[in-house]
Structure 1
Amino acid sequence: MTGFDDEFSPAFAIAEPAVWRAPIIFNSPHSGSVYPDAFLDASRIDLEALRRSEDSFMDELIDHLYDRGFPVVRVHFPRSYIDVNREPYELDPRMFHGRLPSFANTRSMRVAGGLGTIPRMVGDGQEIYRERIPVDEALGRIETLYKPYHRALRRLVNKAHQSWGTVILVDCHSMPSVGVARDEPRRPDIVIGDRYGTSCAPLIPALVEETLAARGYSVGRNKPYAGGFITEHYGDPSNGLHAVQVELNRAIYMDERLRQRSERFERVAEDFTVLADALATIPQADLGPLQTAAE
């Protein structure tokens, strides 16, 4: 088995400023667009279909925030290859040759929907693989891509937390403008996910909504996306660890059919600057140990 990390060179990148403006980290885990040849060969669908699962250009919308003193994390491998916004071993046994580890989570809702750590489907429901893949292949991706990414992200989060006593992780995603279900209501421009009030202090999503609504966006909360593994796993507001997901409707910054940046792209990037600046004004004392909504 070849070294997966060599195929992506590197698998992910962290742009950390010499001086942090505030303990706020911007993360883009689903914008990776480097597709290994072996993966394309094993796929029953073409590259264009695979790319429908990408949060296209999301990393570019936030990369300038590094120049303003905010760390930015971006992943280079595609989520259809391995999804870091899942538990490490959410795996569908129907996908693999060989026996999965006993600790694998084979019964989650995400696995059932074909969207586990090694996805069986792309976002619009198309099956990815022509045939089963070896278990060792899946475990290799987890060991050499998933785990190093989360170790690096955790180190960055811990560094901010130790220095400032608090941290805000802004997990940045994009969504198709139209849902798969025909009866789904029209999607807003932005959906804020805070795991229904459990992943961050209430003032954070309130400020995100206020800031973006003032810039002309329609904003929703937690539906259809409340936040995935990253928001849930890194958010611990009772200990000053806050994670919020910001999901952009792709129609506001790109042509979804042509997969090209639209004329509004630069405006949306500027609005992320406004959002980052607004978050940086939150007093650190307001982000210390808190009681979550669930408590």
Structure 2
Amino acid sequence: MVARIVKDNYPGHVLTEAEDWRQPYIFCCPHAGRDYPRKLLGQSPLPLETLRRSEDAYVDQLIPRFATEFAPVLEAKFPRLFVDVNRSPGELDPSIFQGQVEGADEFRSSRVVAGFGVIPKLAADGRTIYRSRLPNSEAKARLKNCFQPYHDALRSLVAKGRKRFGRVVVVDWHSMPSSALANGKLHDIVLGDLHGVSCDPREAELWQEAFAAEGFSVARNAPYAGGYVAGHYGSPDSGVSVLQIEINRRLYMDERRVARSRDFHRFTKRIEQVVDRVVMARAPGAVAAE
């Protein structure tokens, strides 16, 4: 599926409600959006093909279709280089905008300094996204129309899940470039729980065992431990776990062309098996608290 060039200056998100929410999971896909505002393409000297390499491309299509039978699925439709919902809203880079930017209280964070704040400055290859500075009103507009509605939806799901089950697990689906190394090794899957802070260790272990059982090599927290979603929502003691899943892109796509590989559909079957293992392991205890 190719990217879409849309007239809407601020694409939104899609929430697919569960047919029968019977498992304490929320599946999220924050970085696979491929609805590119025509306005954005006019602001950038980079071709669409280059911009797309910042996507967690096609991860939304890796989430099994049967997932919505038992859990809600939340997907951002806007691209991550337009608005990155896995960053704090305060991680704004003033150098992108004209004049003073309200709310840029985390402009010295390591992610902003690296060029990858909530509104990124750089594309995946390190090139500058914009040919000139944006109006400072653009920062507020993107947060209001893209970032906030996505997190309003997630926050509402978390509250509903806790009420229904007494606990909830946010599974945040991502992909990583094949150049990502953990201790000098290239892994198929990296599970991030902020080094045990954002997710119940039993839950993280359950997913690790399910991936390993399907023949995937799995690392924990290296090189990716989790971002804003894990840090902001994850509180196992309060009944909210967040587990970030990073999938090696070489397993299912051509990274240079941002295209699905010949093995894409076969790979989706493997991911289905992983999710099915987790669901079957959880089924006996997945009883609503209501």
The alpha-carbon deviation at position 50 of structure 1 amounts to 0.7
Q: TM-score, normalised by structure 2?
A: 0.90
Give matches, 1:160-199, under 5 Å: 160-179=161-180, 185-199=184-198
- For residues 84 and 97 of structure 1, the distance between their equivalents in structure 2, rounded to whole angstroms, comes to 22
Corresponding residue of 2:35: 34
**Using a 3 Å threshold, how does the CA distance of structure 1 residues 184 and 54 change in structure 2: closer, same or farther?**
farther
**Using a 3 Å threshold, how does the CA distance of structure 1 residues 190 and 11 change in structure 2: closer, same or farther?**
same
- For residues 228 and 199 of structure 1, the distance between their equivalents in structure 2, rounded to whole angstroms, comes to 10
The aligned length equals 280
What amino acid is aligned across from residue 234 of structure 2 in structure 1? G
**Using a 3 Å threshold, how does the CA distance of structure 1 residues 103 and 178 change in structure 2: closer, same or farther?**
closer
**Using a 3 Å threshold, how does the CA distance of structure 1 residues 197 and 50 change in structure 2: closer, same or farther?**
same
| Structure 2 SS opposite 1:276 | helix
| Structure 2 SS opposite 1:173 | strand
**Using a 3 Å threshold, how does the CA distance of structure 1 residues 122 and 76 change in structure 2: closer, same or farther?**
same
Q: TM-score, normalised by structure 1?
A: 0.89
Corresponding residue of 2:56: 55
Corresponding residue of 2:242: 243
Q: 1:16–1:66: 8 Å Cα contact kept in structure 2?
A: no
Q: 2:10–2:142: 8 Å Cα contact kept in structure 1?
A: no
**Using a 3 Å threshold, how does the CA distance of structure 1 residues 248 and 102 change in structure 2: closer, same or farther?**
closer
The alpha-carbon deviation at position 124 of structure 1 amounts to 2.4
The alpha-carbon deviation at position 6 of structure 1 amounts to 7.4
Q: 2:30–2:173: 8 Å Cα contact kept in structure 1?
A: yes
**Using a 3 Å threshold, how does the CA distance of structure 1 residues 274 and 70 change in structure 2: closer, same or farther?**
farther
Give matches, 1:146-157, under 5 Å: 146-157=147-158
- For residues 108 and 16 of structure 1, the distance between their equivalents in structure 2, rounded to whole angstroms, comes to 35
Corresponding residue of 1:268: 267
Corresponding residue of 1:46: 47
5+ long unaligned stretches in structure 1: 289-295
Q: Percent identity?
A: 43
- For residues 99 and 59 of structure 2, the distance between their equivalents in structure 1, rounded to whole angstroms, comes to 36
CA RMSD of aligned residues (A): 2.2
| Structure 1 SS opposite 2:35 | coil
5+ long unaligned stretches in structure 2: 1-5
- For residues 47 and 80 of structure 2, the distance between their equivalents in structure 1, rounded to whole angstroms, comes to 15
Corresponding residue of 2:3: none
What amino acid is aligned across from residue 149 of structure 1 in structure 2? Y
